Structure 1
Amino acid sequence: MLSELSAATVRATLPAVGAALGTITERFYAGLFAAHPELLDDLFNRGNQASGTQRQALAGSIAAFATHLLDHPEQRPDAMLHRIAHKHASLGVTPEQYGIVHEHLFAAIAEVLGDAVTPEVAAAWDEVYWLMANALIAVERRLREERGGHTWRSWEVVERVAETDDVATFRLRPADGGPVRDFLAGQYVSVRVALPDGARQIRQYSLSGAPGPELRQISVKRVHEDGAPDGEVSGHLHARVRVGDVLELSEPYGDLVLDAGPDTPLLLASAGIGVTPMTAMLAHLAGTGHRAPVTVVHGDRSPATHALRADHEAYAGKLPGAAVHFWYEQDAPAGTRSGLVDLTGVPVAPGTRAYLCGPLPFMRAIRTQLIDRGVAPADIHYEVFGPDLWLAGQAESV
C-alpha cells in the first residue's frame, strides 16, 4: 500500500512522468547496457531492444502499476504481477538485478525530468518502484522454489517437423536422460541459444504438445519484421538446429493455464502462431475427458499458414462438446469462413471461460466481443508473445 504522502505526490506527477516514460525508458536502457553490457547478452532480447517493444512494455507496466496503486490502494494488481513474474523467473532474473535496474531507472528519471524531480517526488516514485519490485521478487522466488531453482538444462532435438513454410516443431528430450518435470497446458519455456556472433539470446516459446513424462515440444515461427531486425533466435532455430543438436531450456512457466472444472464451458481463441498454447490445451482436455462445450476459434492468413492445423482439428474432434470455427483471409475452403475472426453467430455458452492468444489487435477485438456477449472480464485470460504491450497504452493515457 502506498503511503498517503507518496500517493498525493504520485497522483500529482503521474501525468508528467507518464508522458515522459518513453524517453525515460530509452535513456534507462542506454545507461543500463553501457554499465552492464552482459545483461544484453544474457538476459535481454536484442530484437526487442531494437524494435522498442521492451521499452514500451516497461513504460506500460510502470504506469499501470502506479495507476492501480492510486485507484485501488487496498489491492495489488496480482494478475499483472504474476504475468511479469513468470517471464522473469523463466529468464533467470535475480533479486540483485532489481537494485541495478533501480539505479539506472532513477538516473534516467532525473536526467529527463530535471529540476521537477524534487526529493519528495523522488521518494514517492522510489516507493512505487520498490512496492512493485519487492512484490515481483517474492512471487519469482516462490516460482523458482517450486521448480527447484533456476537452471538451464540441455535438451536434445529428437524430431523436427515442418508445419508450414515458416513454422517448425521441435521435439526434445533431456540430454542427461533424467526425469522431466510435468507442466500445465498453456505454459512456455525459455530457450537460450548461442548465435554465430557469439552472443547468447533467449526467447520464450509455448509448449505446443500435451503435458507428458518424457518430451518437450515447441513450435517456432520464423519471425520477419517490417522495418526491424528479423527474429534472431527463431531464425537461428530454423536455419541451424536439426535432429541431434542440443538446446538450453528453462523449466516451464506461464500463467495462461486452464483453470476450469470438467463442466465449465470454454472458448479457446487464437490467431497465427497463437495456436501453440491452444493446441496443448486441447490435447489436455481431450486426454482428461472434458465434458462441457469447448468453442475453438482460430484466424490465419490461409490454410497453408495455419500451423498445427491437423492437431487443432484432431484434438477438438475428440471432445464431444467441441465446435470448431476457422477464419482465413485467403483461400478459405468449404466449412471455414473468409476474412477476420468475428464471433457474430458463434454460440457462447453462459459461464464461459475464455483463453486468448495472438496479435494484440486480435485479442482486444475478441475480448470486446466476448464482454458484449456477457462473458465476465475476469473470465477472459490472455498471453502475449514477447514483451507485454497490452499495458503500453497505460503509459500514453495517464
Structure 2
Amino acid sequence: MLTPESAAVVRATLPVIGGAIGDITPVFYRRMFAAHPELERDLFNRGNQARGDQQRALAGAIAAYATLLVDDGPDPRTVLARIAHKHTSLGILPEQYPIVHEHLFAAIVEVLGDAVTPEVAAAWDEVYWDMADALVEIELGLYAEAGVAPGDVWRQVTVARRVQESPDTVSLELVAPDGAPLPAARPGQYVSVAVDLPDGARQIRQYSLTGAAAPGAWAISVKSIPAGPDGVAPAGEVSNHLHANAFEGDGLEVSTPFGELTLVDGDNPLVLVSAGIGITPMIGFLHHLRSAGTTRRVVVLHADRSPARHAHRAELRALVDDIPTAELHRWYEDLGTRPAQDRLHSGLIDLDGLDLPHDADAYLCGPAPFMTVVQSALLGRGITTDRIHHEVFGPGHEIAAA
C-alpha cells in the first residue's frame, strides 16, 4: 500500500496524470520498442498496437488501479485478474517489470515535463510498484497452480483434425506429439498460440478451448479477420496465418491453459450469452455441463450475422438438446428465407419477453458494444453486477458500466 504522504500526492495529481495517461502510453510504447524492438516483434500484439487498443488498455489499467488505491473502495487487485492471466499465458516474468517501469516513467516526464516534481515522481513510482508487485504475486500463484515454472508455459502440439465450422472459422483439434494427454483445463479457459510469420516476427494470440476434443486433447476455433474498410484495423495476422497454414499433422506452439472466465460452482441457473466467435467459451461450458449431467437451468442466447456464418451452429444445437434443463434462443441479422419463429429471431439480440431467472449467473462473450447492451438488459431483469461475468476481445475493449 502507499504511504499516507504518497497517497495524498496521488489523490491530488490523479486528475492530471489520469487525464494525460492516454498521451503518455503511446510515448511509453514508442520508447520501449525503440530500446527493445524484440518486444514488439515477438511478444506484443502488433494488431492491437496499430489500432491503439494496447495503449488504451494500459492507460485504463493504471488509472483504475491508482483510483482504487487511494479511495476507500474495493481491493485494487480486483482489476488485475484478467491482466495476470494474460501475462501468464504469454510467459511474462518478474524481471520484465523494471523494463516497463523505466520507459513508462521516462514517458511521463516527456509528456508532463516540469509538472513531474520529485514528490510526484516518487508517489507515482509507489503506484507502479504496488501494481507490479501485486501482478507478480498473482502471476507466480497462477504458474504454481498450473504446475509450471514461471514463464515455462510453452509446448509443442500437433494438429490432429481440422474442421471448417463456417466460411471464416475453422476448428483445430490439438494433441501432444508423443500421444500423452495434454493438461486438463477448466471450462472457459484459453491457450495462447505463437506463430512465426513470414517477416520473422513471432506473434501470439489467445483462443478459447471449446471442450470439443477427444479426452487428453484440446480444441480451439480460429476466425479469419480481414483488414478493416477504414484502413486502420489490420487483418488478423495470426488467425489468417493459421487459416492458411494449420492442417492435420502440422505442429503448433501453444501455452498452458489460463483465463479467469470460468464457471462458478453451485446450483444457480446459468445464462450464457454470446455473439459471433464469442460462442467458443460457451461451447466449452456446455460440453462440461453435459458431461457433468447438470440439473441447473441453462438459458443459451446467441447472436450472429446469419445461420451460414454461425460457427459451431449444429454443435450448439446438439449440446443444448442433450441437456434436459437447457434452452436455446438465437438471433440472426439475416435469416435468409427462413421464417422467424419461437426461439429463432430476426435482427439484433433482444432480451425483452424472455423468461430469465433473476438469480442466475450470466456469462457474456462478444464485441464490447454487444456486451454493453446485454449487460444493461440483464441488470434490468434483476441479475446483479456480481453475477455477470464477461470475456472481451482484445486488451482495450472493456464493457461500459450500466
Structure 2 length-normalised TM: 0.94
Give the SS at the match of 1:337: strand
Aligned to 1:85: 84
Q: 1:56-102: CA deviations, max 9, x gaps?
A: 111111111111112236x4234321111000000011101111000
Query: In the alignment, what sits opposite 1:108?
Result: 107
- Looking at structure 2, the residues matched to 246 and 110 of structure 1 have their Cα atoms a distance apart, in angstroms, of 46
- Equivalence for 1:292: 296
Q: How does 1:197-276 map to 2 (within 5 A)?
A: 197-210=199-212, 213-226=215-228, 227=231, 228-261=233-266, 263-276=267-280
Q: CA deviation at 1:364?
A: 1.1
1:178-193 aligned within 5 A: 178-193=180-195
Aligned to 2:57: 57
From 296, 306, 310, the counterpart of 1:302 = 306
Question: Matches of 2:325 and 2:77 in 1, distance apart?
Answer: 33
Provide the residue aligned with 1:140 in structure 2: 139
SS at match of 1:163: strand
Between the aligned partners of 2:45 and 2:119, the Cα distance in structure 1 is 35
Are 2:387 and 1:379 aligned?
Answer: yes
Distance (whole Å) between structure 1 residues aligned to residue 385 and residue 213 of structure 2: 28
What is the SS of the residue equivalent to 2:54? Answer: helix
Q: Deviation at 1:123?
A: 1.0
Q: Say if 1:60 and 1:389, in contact at 8 Å, map to a contact too.
A: no
Contact 2:175 2:181 in 1 (8 A): no
Q: Deviations over 1:146-176 (max 9, x none)?
A: 2222231111111111111110101110123
Deviations 1:322-347 (A, max 9, x none): 12110111126343111111111111
The number of residue pairs the alignment matches comes to: 391
2:13 counterpart letter in structure 1: T
* Structure 1 stretches lacking a partner, 5+ long: none
Q: 1:313, 1:18 → 2: CA distance?
A: 47
In the other structure, the counterpart of 1:330 is: 334
Match of 2:165 among 154, 163, 166: 163
Query: Could you tell me whether the CA contact under 8 Å between 1:210 and 1:281 is conserved in 2?
Result: no
Residue in 1 aligned with 2:4?
Answer: 4
Task: Extract unaligned runs of 5+ from structure 2.
Answer: none
Q: What is the root-mean-square deviation in Å for CA atoms of aligned residues? A: 1.6
Partner of 2:366: 358
Relative contact order (alpha carbons < 8 A, sep ≥ 6): 1 or 2 greater? 1
Q: What is the percentage of aligned positions where both structures have the same residue? A: 56
Aligned partner of 2:21 in structure 1 is: 21
The answer to which of 332-341 and 39-48 deviates more is 332-341
Alpha-carbon distance in structure 2 between the residues aligned to 1:151 and 1:355: 27
Q: Distance in 2 between matches of 1:210 and 1:284?
A: 10
Aligned to 2:324: 320
Q: Which one is further off, 36-45 or 162-171?
A: 36-45
Query: How far has the Cα of 1:212 moved from its partner?
Result: 5.9
- Give secondary structure in 2 for the equivalent of 1:220: strand
- Cα pair 2:358 2:381 within 8 Å, conserved: no
| Alignment-derived partner of residue 97 in structure 1 | 96
Q: Give how far 1:15 is off.
A: 1.5
- Name which of structure 1's ranges 105-114 and 313-322 shifts more when overlaid on structure 2: 313-322
Please tell me whether the aligned partners of residues 204 and 386 of structure 1 are also in contact (alpha carbons under 8 angstroms). Answer: no
The one-letter code sitting in structure 2 at the alignment partner of 1:270 is S
Deviations 1:100-151 (CA, angstroms, capped at 9, x unpaired): 0000000000000000000111111111111111010001011112222223
Q: Distance in 2 between matches of 1:22 and 1:232?
A: 26
Give, as a single letter, the amino acid of the residue that structure 2 aligns with 1:2: L
- Letter of the 1:348 counterpart: L
> Which letter does structure 1 place at the counterpart of 2:177?
A
352-361 vs 76-85, which moves further:
76-85
Residues 220-229 or 351-360, more deviating = 220-229
Structure 1 residues 225, 14: closer, same or farther in 2, change over 3 A? Answer: farther
Quote the Cα distance in structure 2 between the aligned partners of 1:11 and 1:51: 31
* SS of corresponding position for 2:191: strand
Q: TM-score, normalising length from structure 1?
A: 0.95
Q: Distance in 2 between matches of 1:316 and 1:16?
A: 51
Aligned partners of 2:369, 2:78: CA distance in 1, in Å?
Answer: 20
